[in-house]
Amino acid sequence: MKSRIKIWHFILLLWLLIVIFRFDRIIDAAGFLFLSAQLIFTAPGFVFDQLDFSMVDFIVSVKLIFLLPFILYIFRKKAAIIFRSSNLSSSVVILLLFGFIFSPVISNTHPDFYKNIGMTRLLPPLSTVLILHLKEVATHTEGATGNFLKLKESLIKKPFDEKIIFIDSLIVADEVVYYQKGLPVKMSLTGIEMKNSLPLITKRMFILGTDEFGRDIFTRLMYGTRTSLSIGFLAVLISLLAGLILGYLAGYAGGVIDLILSRLTDMFLAFPVIFFVVLILALFGNNFISIVLVLGFSTWMSLFKIVKAEVLSVKTKDFFQTAKLIGLSKTRLLLREVLPVIMVPVIVNIVFQYGNVILAESALSYLGLGIGNELPSWGSMIESGQEYIYKAWWMIFFPGLILTGTLLAANSIGRNISKYFNPRLD
Amino acid sequence: MNKKIVRIFLRRVLSSAVVLFLLITFIFFLVRISPGDPSQRFISPAFSPQLAESVRQSFRLDEPLFNQYTVFIRNFAAGDLGISYNYRRPVLFVIGDFLPFTVTFALVSFALQLLISISLAYYTVKRKNSLTDKIVSGTMLAAYATPVFVAGVILIYIFSVQLNLFPSSGIAPIDVHTYGFFRKILAYAHHLFLPFIALSMVEVAILYKYLRDNLNDVFNKTFILNLRANGIKEKTILLRHVIPNAANPLISVTGIELGILFGGTLIVEVIFGLPGMGRLTIEAILTRDYPLVIGCTLIAGVLMIFSNLTADIVRAKIDKRVLIGALN
Amino acid sequence: MYRIFLLLVLILPFITSCRKESPYSPDRVIIGIPSDIQTLNPLYAYTVDEGAISELLFLSLVTFKWDEEKGNLKTVPMLATDWIWNSDSTSLSFNLREDVYWSDGIQCTAEDVLYSFDLYSDPVVQSKLLGSFKSLYLNDDSSIDLDKSFKILNPFSIQINFRSDAAPVLPEIIFPLIPKHVFSKYERKDIATAKENLEPVTNGAFKLSDWSKNQSVTLRINENSFLYNNSSIKEIIFKVVPDYNSRLTQLKKGEIDLTELVKPDDISELKRYAHLSIKPVKGREYDYVGWNNIDPDIYQREGRFISHKLFGDARVRRALTHAINRKEILEEYLLNYGELAAGPVSPIFKEAIDPNLKPHQYNPSKAKQLLAESGWTETDKDGILQKGKLQFRFTLHIPSGNPRRSYAATVIKNNLRAVGIDVNVITLEPGVLIEEFYSRKIDAWMMGWFVPIPVDLKMSWYSDLEVTPVNFVGYGSAEADQLLDKMEKRISVDEYNQLLKEFQAVINRDEPMTFMYWLDNITVYNNRISNMDISPLGVVHHCWEWTINN
C-alpha cells in the first residue's frame, strides 16, 4: 500500500494542530521568552534563581515549536527520509517523538496535577468538569520581575493549584453555593474571581479520561513517553556498548579473554533473563536508574555474539590485516574497520532490543518492580490501570495501545532495515 | 567419527557444568550482599535484639561470607542444597512440588505451539497473498506485539468474567482427586486453556514467522519444482523434503524459545495463579529465602542448558553436517 | 486427518467448559486466600492465615470472643472447663476436659500443656512466641523455668505460677497446644523440620483432610470433638487464589464462599450480587507516616540520640499532619471504610477511648503557620520552605506491592508540595524497608502497625530504645514513660483505661508520627453461610459454629 501522504506532511499536520489548539499558550510563551531574554541582561541573578528543569524544558519545547517549520525546510535535502511515504510505523514514531519533545507545550497541566479527587477520579474519556476560579491574591510585585513570575506561573504548571475548585453546579445569590458530588458547599462572593458580575466558570475536558487521582491520562501518557523512551534508549545504549566492547575484545584478543567472556555470556544466557532482572531489582530496589542498568546489562549477550562472530571473520580478511600492519590503534581498528561491517546486524538487533526493553519495563511494572510513582511511565500507568480494569478500561487501554504500537513500529522498522540491506529476504 | 561425537558431547556437558557452577556462585554472593534479612520474617515485635541474633545464627548468617560459601559448596557437592527458610523443608523437596507442573505445562504448550504454527504457516504459504494469508499474518503481528500481561487480563475479562466459559485461576477444581482419569485431563485442560493462550500468543507468532519464511524459501527451491515435475505426490514432498529442510533453522531457535518458555511462564503463573517455578522463585527472592533462590536458579539454568543441548542434538540428527559446529 | 486433529485440540477446552462444575456442596465452605500456608504447626504459624488455621486444628486452654459493646475480650472455656485465680493473682489453676484425644488416639493431658509452654519458650525451637512469656519465671536464656512456673496437680489439672512483681493477663498464656508424644521424639533443633508440621497430629475442632501445595488446604470437621455439632459445616477449604481480581471473580461466580481484605473500591460492584454479603469490621490496624524523631546519621555514626533536623520539633510534626489531607484519602480511596486516627489506640476499644480527643484536621494554613513558628519560611521564591541554609526536602519511603500506601504517598507528596515541602517518594521492597526503619536509617516512611489485644503500648512508645526496638520513630517523652510505667503495675481495668486516655492525649500533642487511619477489614461472603461471628479476632475464628442454609 503506497499512501500519498509523505512523512513531512504528517509532521506539518501535527505541528499545525498544536499551533491551533494551543495558540494562546504559544503566544504567552513567546512573551515569556522575550521577557526572560530581557531580564537576563537587567537581572541575571534573578533569572538564574528561577531556572529549573521544568523551565528549561518548557523553553526548549517552545523554541522547537517555532523552529520546526524552518528545520524541516533547511534539512529537506539531507533528511530524504521525511519525503518517503508515511506508513503506520513511521507515523507511530513521529507521534512518539512529538510527545517526547513537545509535551510541555501540548499539555496545559502538570502530569501529577490533581484537585478534588472525588470530583475528577476515574472519569471516562471526553468528560468535562466545571471549574470555579478563586480570586488571586496579589503576591507578585510590579515590574518586569513581577510579570515574569506571573507568566511563569500561568505557563509552567505545578502539581497543585489553590486557585481552582472542580464543581458539579453552582447557585449564585448573596453568597455562592457550589455542589460537589451532590453535596452543597457555601462560599462568600468575595473570594471568587468574577466576570460580568458573575462567578467565572470554565470547563476542563479530559480527552482520554482520568486516573484514580483524577489526573489527566493524556498528559501523563505524553510525559510517560519521555520516561519510557528514555529508559529504552539508555538501556539499549548500555547494552550496545557492553556488547560491542566485550565482543570486540573477545573476537580480537581470543584465547583466555575469549574463554572467560564466552563463559560469562553463557552464564547470563543460562538463566531466563526475566528472573535475573527480577532478582536484581527485588534485591537492590527499583527506580529509574536501577531499571535502566539492569535492562541494559541483561540484554548485551546477543550483541556480544554477533560482534564476536563478525570480528572473527573480519580478522582473517585482507583489508583488516593491511590496516593492522599500517599500525592503526585498536580503537581505530574497531571504529574504522569493524564497525562498518557489523553495522547492519547491530542496528537491526538494537531496534528489536529497543522494543523488548520498553516491553520489559512495563512487564516489570506489572510485577510491581517498575520505576515507581515518581515519574509517569507507560508501565506504571498499566500497573495502576490493571487495578481498575473492571471500572476504568481507559486507564489500561491507552497506555497498552501505545505500548503495542511502539512494539509494532520497532518490529517493522527493524525488519525494513534488514530487508533494505539484505533484499534476498522476502 | 562416533568417538569424536562423544568427546565433543562430553566437552559440551563439562562446559555447561562450569557455567552452572559460575551461575550459582554469582547468585550466592549476589543475594548475600543485597539488603534485606531473611530472619526478619521470623521476628515477632516482642523480640529482643539478642534473640534476633540467635535466629540469624541458626541460619548461619552470622558467619563470614566466605565460610558460608565453603559450607555451601561442600553440601552442594554432596547433593544437599540446604533447607528452605520459609518451607522448613529441603530445597529439593520444595522444588519437587513445583517443577513437574512447570515442565509439563511448558512442554505441552510448546508442542501445541509448534503444531499450531506449522499448520498456520503451511496453510498460508500455500495461499500466498490471499486474504486469509493477510489476515493470519496481521493477526500474528498483533499477537507478537501484545504484552503477555495485557493479553492475560483481557482473556480473563472476556472469557472468565463476561462469558463465564473458563475459570480464572488455579489448575484444577477443588475435588479433582475424586475424578476419573479422563475427567481429570479434561478438568486440567479446562483450567489451563486461557493460560496456554496467553503464554502462546507471542511464541506462536515468532515460530510462525520463522516457519513461514523457511517454508517459502524451500518451496521456491528448484529441487522441489523438479520433484513436482516428476509427479511425486504433494504430501510426500511436504513430509519428506519440505519440512525437514525448513525445520533445520527452526530447531536452533527452538532451543532458545523453549528456554524462554520456562522463564516466560512467570507472568502467566502470576496472572492465573498457577503453582509453578516462576512464582516459587519470585516468592523466594522476595522473602530472602537464600537456599531456595539458589535451588531455583540452578533448576532454571539446568532446564535452559538442557533444552539448548537437546535442540542441538536433534539438529545434528537431522543434518549430520552441522553436528560438529553445533556441539562446539 | 491432521486438520481434524487440530480442530479437536482447539475445541477440546470449549467442550470441557460446557459442563459446569458445581462448587456448591451442602456442608462445605471454601475460603479464598492470597498465598499458600507453609506450615500447620502453631509454633511456626507466622502469618495470619497460618495462625487462623492452626487454631482450628489445635485446642487452646481457653478461647476468646469479642465483646462488641464493651470493646474487650470475653473468655470462653475450651480445653479447660474452668480456671481459678488464687487470692493475690499470682497463680492460676486450670481443670482440663477428660474427653479430648489427639487424632492418633492418645489422650490429651496436662503434660501436653506443660510441654507446649516448654517448646514455645525454648530459644532452640524459635517459636513465634519466643520471648513473650514475661510474667512467668524465666531462665537466663528466656526459656520458662518449668519447676517454678508449673505444677501438675493431676493428669487433668495444672497450676501456673506468675512472678509476684508481674501483672499477668490471661491472653498472654493462651495459644494452640501441641502434642508431647509427637514432638518429644525429635531433638529440639529438628522440630522446625519435623514431618508433623505438614501432617499434623491434632485435637481441635477440625482435622486436616488434604493439602495440595499452592492449591488448597482442606479441613474436615472432627466428629469426635466436644465442639462438634451436627448442624454445623462439615468441611472448610482454604483455596489459594493469588490474584486479587480472580478472588473477586470466583466470589461472584460462587467458586469461593468467602474472602477477606476486599478493597473498598469493589464494594459497589459486589453489592449487585444478591448472594453476597459484605461485612466490614472495624480494625486495630492503622497506616502511619513515620517521621524519624532522631537524627539518623548521628545515630548511625555515634549511637547518640539527637533531635532530627526536620522532624525533631513536635510543631513540625503536627504541621505535617495538618498539611496532609487524610480525609480525602479516607473518602476517595477507602470510601470511608475506616476512621481517621487520633492516636495509637483503636476506636474498637471503646472504654479506652476519650471521645473528646479529635484527630488533627486538614488545614494547610494552620500547617504553614506552625511551620513558620518553628522557623520554616519561604525566602527565595522557589516554592520550598527554608530555615537558614536548610531546605525542607526529604525522601518518603513506601513499601512496594501496596496500592493503598502508594496512593496515599502520591496525595502526601502533592499536599506537602502545596505548603512548600518537597517530597521524593521511593518504593522499597517491604523486607528492605522494614530493615531500614528498624535500624533507624531513614527519615520518613509509610507503613502499617497494629494494637495488640489486650492493648499494650509500652513496646511501641517507651523511650528506652534498647528494650523497645519497635519504637521505630524513636519517640521519647518523660511524661509518656511515666504513664507507661504505671500501666505495668497491678491496677484495675478502669485505672488502666484512664491511663490509656491520658497517654493518648500526650501522643496527640506530640504527634510522634502522623497517624493516618484505622482500616476496616472488609469480608465478603456467600449468604448461604450463617451464624458467623466476624470480629477483630479474625474471620474463621470459631467457624465450627457456622451453619449452611441451602
| Model confidence pLDDT, tens digit, residues B91-142 | 888 898 888 888 888 888 888 888 888 888 888 877 777 888 888 888 888 8
* B180: phi then psi, degrees, rounded to nearest 5: -80, 175
The closest CB to that of A408, out of B34, B141, B264, belongs to: B141
> C476 with C495: CB under 8 angstroms?
no
Q: Determine, for residues B293 and A284 on separate chains, whether the beta-carbon distance falls below 8 Å.
A: no
- C246 Cβ neighbours under 8 A, 6+ residues apart: B156, B168, B169, B272, B273
Residue spans of chain C under pLDDT 50? 18
Q: Give CA–CA dist C324/C412, Å, rounded.
A: 6
> Is any Cβ of chain A less than 8 angstroms from the Cβ of C245?
yes
Best residue of C262, C332, C416, C434 to probe chain A, by most A CBs closer than 10 Å: C332
Three cell numbers written together for A342:
557489523
Q: Is the pLDDT of residue A1 over 50?
A: no
Among chain C residues, CA nearest to A376: C410
Q: Determine, for residues B88 and C38 on separate chains, whether the beta-carbon distance falls below 8 Å.
A: yes
> A117 with C332: CB under 8 angstroms?
yes
Q: Determine, for residues B149 and A407 on separate chains, whether the beta-carbon distance falls below 8 Å.
A: no
Among chain A residues, CA nearest to B26: A267
> Is any Cβ of chain C less than 8 angstroms from the Cβ of B178?
no
> A221 with A400: CB under 8 angstroms?
no
* C292: phi then psi, degrees, rounded to nearest 5: -65, 115
Among chain C residues, CA nearest to B164: C253
Q: Give CA–CA dist B241/B248, Å, rounded.
A: 12
| Residue-wise DSSP of C145-198 | -HHHHEEEEETTEEEEE--TT----GGGG------HHHHTTS-GGGGGG-GGGT
Task: State the CB neighbour count (10 A cutoff) for residue C464.
Answer: 10
Neighbours of chain B (3+ CB pairs under 8 A): A, C
> C60 with C79: CB under 8 angstroms?
yes
- Average pLDDT over every residue of A359-369: 81
Percent of chain A with pLDDT over 70: 95
Q: Determine, for residues A390 and B161 on separate chains, whether the beta-carbon distance falls below 8 Å.
A: yes
| Residue-wise DSSP of A4-49 | S-BHHHHHHHHHHHHHHHTHHHHHHHHHHHHHHHHHHHH-HHHHHH
Q: Determine, for residues A52 and C380 on separate chains, whether the beta-carbon distance falls below 8 Å.
A: no
Q: Determine, for residues A114 and C427 on separate chains, whether the beta-carbon distance falls below 8 Å.
A: no
Among chain B residues, CA nearest to A401: B146
Q: Determine, for residues B187 and C16 on separate chains, whether the beta-carbon distance falls below 8 Å.
A: yes
Please, what is the average pLDDT of chain A? Answer: 82
Q: Is the pLDDT of residue A426 over 50?
A: no
| Residue-wise DSSP of B207-274 | HHHHHHHHHHHHHTSHHHHHHHHTT--HHHIIIIIIHHHHHHHHHHHHHHHHHHHHHHHHHHHHHHT-
Give the model's pLDDT for residue B249: 64
Residue for grid cell 470462653: C76
Q: Give CA–CA dist A269/B304, Å, rounded.
A: 8
Write out chain C residues lying below 8 Å of B86, CB-based: 38
Angle between helices B2-33 and B65-77 (to 10 degrees): 150
Three cell numbers written together for C72:
474487650
Nearest CA-CA partner of C484 in C469, C466, C468: C468
On the 0-12 / 13-18 / 19+ scale of CB atoms within 10 A, B236 is exposed
The closest CB to that of A283, out of B31, B142, B260, belongs to: B31
The closest CB to that of B19, out of A266, A359, A390, belongs to: A266
> Is any Cβ of chain A less than 8 angstroms from the Cβ of C243?
no
Q: Give CA–CA dist C378/C380, Å, rounded.
A: 6
Q: Give CA–CA dist B176/B133, Å, rounded.
A: 42
Three cell numbers written together for A352:
528489536
Q: Give CA–CA dist A70/B181, Å, rounded.
A: 74
| Residue-wise DSSP of B285-320 | HHTT-HHHHHHHHHHHHHHHHHHHHHHHHHHHHH-G
Strand C422-428 relative to strand C393-399, pairing: parallel
Q: What is the pLDDT of residues C477-499, one digit of tens each?
A: 888 888 888 888 878 888 888 99
Among chain B residues, CA nearest to A415: B209
Give rounded-to-5 percent helix, strand, coil for chain B.
80, 0, 20
Residue with the larger pLDDT of the pair A262 and A368:
A262
Residue spans of chain B under pLDDT 70? 1-2, 39-56, 58, 174-175, 246-260, 262-264, 315-328
Write out chain B residues lying below 8 Å of A267, CB-based: 19, 22-23, 26
> Is any Cβ of chain B less than 8 angstroms from the Cβ of A309?
no
Give the model's pLDDT for residue B326: 44
Three cell numbers written together for A92:
507511530
Residue for grid cell 457456622: C546
Q: Determine, for residues C407 and A212 on separate chains, whether the beta-carbon distance falls below 8 Å.
A: yes
Q: Determine, for residues B142 and A285 on separate chains, whether the beta-carbon distance falls below 8 Å.
A: no
Give Cα B172 to chain centroid, integer Å.
21
Write out chain A residues lying below 8 Å of C415, CB-based: 160
pTM over 0.80: yes
Q: Determine, for residues C39 and B48 on separate chains, whether the beta-carbon distance falls below 8 Å.
A: no
> Is any Cβ of chain C less than 8 angstroms from the Cβ of A285?
yes
- DSSP state at residue A108: S
Q: Give CA–CA dist C192/C45, Å, rounded.
A: 11
Write out chain A residues lying below 8 Å of C418, CB-based: 160, 162
Q: Give CA–CA dist C483/C502, Å, rounded.
A: 8
> A119 with A167: CB under 8 angstroms?
yes
Measured between CA atoms, how close is C177 to chain B, in angstroms?
A: 19
Q: Give CA–CA dist C254/C234, Å, rounded.
A: 18
Best residue of B14, B15, B19, B307 to probe chain A, by most A CBs closer than 10 Å: B19
Greatest extent of chain C over all pairs of C-alpha atoms, in Å = 89
The closest CB to that of A117, out of C265, C328, C429, belongs to: C328
Q: Which value does ipTM take for this structure?
A: 0.81
> Is any Cβ of chain C less than 8 angstroms from the Cβ of B130?
no
> Is any Cβ of chain C less than 8 angstroms from the Cβ of A162?
yes
Task: State the CB neighbour count (10 A cutoff) for residue B222.
Answer: 7
Assign A126 to helix, strand or coil: coil
What residues form DSSP beta bridges with C387? C390
B35 cis-preceded (ω within 30 degrees of 0)? no
The closest CB to that of B88, out of C129, C193, C432, belongs to: C193
Give Cα C218 to chain centroid, integer Å.
24
> Is any Cβ of chain B less than 8 angstroms from the Cβ of A154?
no
Three cell numbers written together for A41:
541582561
Q: What is the pLDDT of residues A211-223, one digit of tens each?
A: 988 899 999 999 9
Measured between CA atoms, how close is C240 to chain A, in angstroms?
A: 19
Among chain A residues, CA nearest to B161: A390
Assign C296 to helix, strand or coil: helix
The closest CB to that of B145, out of A278, A279, A404, belongs to: A404
* C83: phi then psi, degrees, rounded to nearest 5: -145, 140
Write out chain C residues lying below 8 Å of B166, CB-based: 13, 17
Task: State the CB neighbour count (10 A cutoff) for residue C87.
Answer: 6
- DSSP state at residue C232: B
> Is any Cβ of chain B less than 8 angstroms from the Cβ of A262?
no
Nearest CA-CA partner of C117 in C75, C76, C60: C60
Q: Is the pLDDT of residue A396 over 70?
A: yes
Q: Give CA–CA dist C314/C511, Å, rounded.
A: 7
Give Cα C296 to chain centroid, integer Å.
28
Among chain B residues, CA nearest to C36: B275
Give the model's pLDDT for residue C6: 61
> C219 with C237: CB under 8 angstroms?
yes
Interface of A with C in 94-113 (CB under 8 A): 112
Cα pseudo-dihedral B194, B195, B198, B204, rounded to 10: -100
Strand C444-450 relative to strand C393-399, pairing: parallel
